[in-house]
Homo-oligomer: A and B are copies of this chain.
């Protein structure tokens, strides 16, 4: 019904139209039943999925940060979009929400339709993996704003959760147990649960069909976990490390005491620490130190939750527990 798709802003109109022609089918391929109108028009229309009594919209915005520089250096633009989606979707999954849709923002110095197609191809692949629809985006051309061939990327993810099932950490109590899921090393700092599980654990490629008809592997795993035990909080360990991210989901008066001997920090972090003469606190607030995801459960649920995650192929450590005190993370020997 709508001939134009992506919004254009200060963009070379012919290059913009060429880019739009290339990315429209990529975005369309991500549609889910709730999408009434995706890319095109002034805005996208998405129905709130049926079956929610009190639906809460869970929204996140993210960039891909320094991974963009890696993409520029490597000349590979097909995977930053996957990272972008995964960053946003993981921020939604930690609250127990179902990813619903995604919009992107791409700023370039000069619009190269083929490059846009490659980048958006990655975003669409990420959306298909996460089971969310790519319903819109914006391309901005800022002459002189970016070096030739470089660009900036941001994304906006929306999910939905039944209000009574929203996981926001408010239920965390002193004595709760803290489980850590291993990340696959330095390069996955900021990489995502979705990506890690899909590629590292399950060994699927970007374009492999996913089990579960439009539901991501991560979502399926989380759903199983949430159905089996009471999960009181979850945290995705990105920039800021354990120290920066875990307190975000703790209520006032609760801190997390983590035993450093409860898991093995991958050797790469030790190499980095020595090479950079980085002090310990800085390491823990900068890198994930081998823990990509944290799950907080009541004491009685810790064993079941650990087993369930291990059965799904995760490496799980019992990091420590919730203690009374100022909101924060405390590392003990």
Chain A residues engaging chain B, CB cutoff 8 angstroms: 1-4, 7-10, 13, 36-37, 40-48, 54-66, 68, 90-92, 94-95, 97, 101, 103-105, 107, 135-138, 140, 142, 145-146, 150, 152, 154, 156-159, 163, 166, 168-170, 235-236, 239-240, 244, 247-249, 251-252, 285, 327
Q: Given contact pairs A48-B56, A103-B156, A105-B105, enumerate 17 new A-B contacts (beta carbons under 8 Å).
A: A1-B168, A2-B169, A4-B247, A36-B56, A36-B166, A41-B95, A42-B60, A43-B59, A43-B91, A45-B57, A48-B48, A57-B101, A59-B135, A63-B107, A63-B140, A105-B154, A105-B156
**With the chains together, A236 CA to B41 CA distance in Å?**
11
Which residues of chain B come closer than 8 Å to A249, judged between CB atoms? 2, 41-42
Query: From residue A329, how far is it (CB to closest CB) to chain B in Å?
Result: 12
Closest to A97 in B: B43
With a cutoff of 8 Å between Cβ atoms, the chain B residues found around residue A150 in the complex are: 145
CB contacts (< 8 Å) of A146 on chain B: these are: 145
Q: Is the CB of B248 within 8 A of A4?
A: yes
Contacts of A37 in B (CB 8 A): 168
Of the A-B pairs whose beta carbons lie under 8 Å apart in the complex, a sample of 22, sorted by A's number, is A2-B248, A4-B244, A9-B63, A9-B65, A36-B168, A43-B95, A43-B97, A43-B159, A45-B57, A45-B168, A47-B56, A57-B101, A60-B103, A61-B136, A61-B137, A61-B156, A65-B140, A105-B105, A107-B154, A140-B152, A145-B146, A158-B158
Assembled-state Cα–Cα distance A154/B105 (Å) = 7
Say yes or no: B42 contacts A46, CB within 8 Å. no
Smallest beta-carbon distance A93→chain B, Å: 9
Q: Which of B3, B62, B63, B169 contacts A327 (CB 8 A)?
A: B3
Which of B47, B60, B163 is in CB contact (< 8 Å) with A163? B47
B40 contacts A58, CB within 8 Å? no
Q: Are B158's CB and A59's CB within 8 A? A: yes
* Beta-carbon contact of B36 and A60 below 8 Å: no
Asked if residues A101 and B59 are in contact (CB atoms below 8 Å), the reply is yes
Task: Knowing A13-B285, A140-B63, A146-B145 are in contact, say whether A92-B43 is a contact too (CB < 8 A).
Answer: yes
A137: chain B residues within 8 A (beta carbon): 61
Contacts of A166 in B (CB 8 A): 36, 45
Complex CA distance for A136 and B47, rounded to whole angstroms = 22
Q: Which residues of B contact A236 (CB under 8 A)?
A: 42
- Report chain B residues within 8 Å CB of A61: 7, 103-105, 136-138, 156
In the complex, what residues of B have CB within 8 A of residue A107's CB? 63, 107, 152, 154
Residues of B within 8 A of A10 (CB): 63, 65-66, 239
- Distance of A242 Cα from B7 Cα, bound (Å): 15
Instruction: Output the residue of A46, A54, A61, A235 with the most chain B CB within 10 A.
Output: A61
Closest to A144 in B: B147
CB distance from A122 to the nearest CB of B (A): 17
Minimum C-beta distance from A192 to chain B (A): 12
A248 contacts across to B, CB distance below 8 A:
2-4, 40-42
Per CB-CB distance, the 4 closest pairs between chain A and chain B, nearest first, are A156-B156, A43-B60, A42-B91, A10-B65
